[in-house]
Amino acid sequence: MPEQVSQESKAVKESKIPSEVNIIGPKGVEWKKLEEKIIGLQNDIVHFEVEFFERDAFKKFCDNLRSNLSDLKEICITGYFSETIREELKSLSENSYYHIRLISPEFPLSSKRDRHNIEALKKLAKAGVEIKFNSRLHARLLVGHNPLKGLLVIGSFDFNTECIGKERYDAGIKTCHPDLVHSAIAFFEQVWNDSESLTIEEFLKGN
C-alpha cells in the first residue's frame, strides 16, 4: 500500500512540472528575452557574412549598381573603367547625396579601347565624379559606406567591358563586415593621398 501511494504521489508531482514551451512567470520572461536576443544576433550576422563572387555574380551586381549602392553616401572604386559602367556611375553622381571617387592605374592612350576608356572617365569627371590615376595601383575594389553601414567588393574585377561582359574568369568576395570595410576605406585613402596620384588633368598632360 505505501508503495502505491508513493507512485501516485510521484505521478502528481511530475504532472505539475511545466514544459519549456509553456513556461510562465519570471522564467518565461527570461526565455522570451533569450529568444529576442537570438533573433537579434541572427539579424546581425548578415553584417559579418562573406560571399564568394564569381563573374556571373559580378555582372549581376554591376547591372544593378544603382540599387546596390543606393543607400551608401561615399563610393570609392579602384581599377579600370569603361563606357559599360559609365551610365550607372553618372546617374549616381548626378544626385548630390553621393560622393564618388575613382582611382585608375595609369595606361597608355595608344589603342582605340584605351582612348574610349579615357573618354568615359572624362565624361564622369564632367558629371562630378572625382578621378585620380596611380601608376603603382594594382588593387581592385569597391567600397561604399555611410555612418550606419558599408559594403566591400574586392577581387580581380575591373569595372570595364571585359569583366562585366564575362570575357575573363574573375573572382572575389563581397561583404559588409565592418572591419574589412574600414580597412578598405583606409587603403583607398592612402592611395588617393599618395603624392604620386595624379588628377585627370595631370594625367592627360603627360599623354
Residue 146 shares a structural domain with residue 64: yes
- Give percent of the chain above pLDDT 90: 70
pLDDT digits (tens, 9 = 90+) for 67-100: 999 999 999 999 999 998 999 999 999 999 999 9
Instruction: Give the range of the structural domain holding residue 6, as residue numbers without chain letter.
Output: 2-42
Cα 107 from chain centroid (whole Å): 27
Q: Based on the domain organization, do 33 and 110 belong to the same domain?
A: no
| Residues 95-138: tens digit of each pLDDT | 999 999 999 999 999 999 899 999 999 999 999 999 999 999 99
If asked whether residues 153 and 169 sit together in one domain, one would say yes
Determine contact, residues 98/92, Cβ cutoff 8 Å.
yes
Longest alpha-carbon distance in the chain: 108
d(CA 61, CA 67): 9
Same domain, 68 and 91: yes
Looking at residues 28-37, what average pLDDT do you find? 70
Q: Which of 120, 87, 90 is nearest to 104 (CA)?
A: 120
Q: Which helix (H) or strand (E) holds 20?
A: none
Q: 41-50, 82-91, 174-183: which has the minimum mean pLDDT?
A: 41-50
Reported pTM:
0.77
13 with 69, same domain: the answer is no
Do 118 and 83 lie in one domain? The reply is: yes
Mean pLDDT over each residue of the chain, to the nearest integer: 85
CB 177 within 8 A of CB 50: yes
Count of structural domains within the chain: 2
First to last CA, the chain: 108
